[in-house]
Amino acid sequence: MDFPSINVNKELALSLKDVPVLRRQRIVKDELQKLINDYDNHVIFLSRIHYLFDEELKKIQSAYSNISVVIR
């Protein structure tokens, strides 16, 4: 099977580059949701997810109960 893959670090870097650090925590969840919504699949591979565990984002909680997420 061929599933779409999202390079999370790269895509978030592009979408957050002009966002002040103090606002990123509130925006990352929405930006990630936009990336996932761009695909019409129930399974999406998320690669290079390091940024999601960064200290500045430590309070973000998962809101993706309706899709399967495979992390490689």
pLDDT tens digits for range 13-70: 999 899 988 888 788 888 888 988 888 777 888 888 877 777 655 544 444 455 555 5
Which residues form the domain of 34?
Answer: 5-71
The model's confidence at residue 11, banded by pLDDT at 50, 70 and 90, is very high
pLDDT band of residue 7 (cuts 50, 70, 90) is very high
57 CB contacts (<8 Å, ≥6 apart)?
A: 24, 25, 28, 51
For residue 10, pLDDT beyond 90: yes
CA angle 70, 34, 65 (to 5 degrees): 45
What local confidence, expressed as pLDDT, does residue 45 receive?
A: 85
* Domains in the chain, number: 1
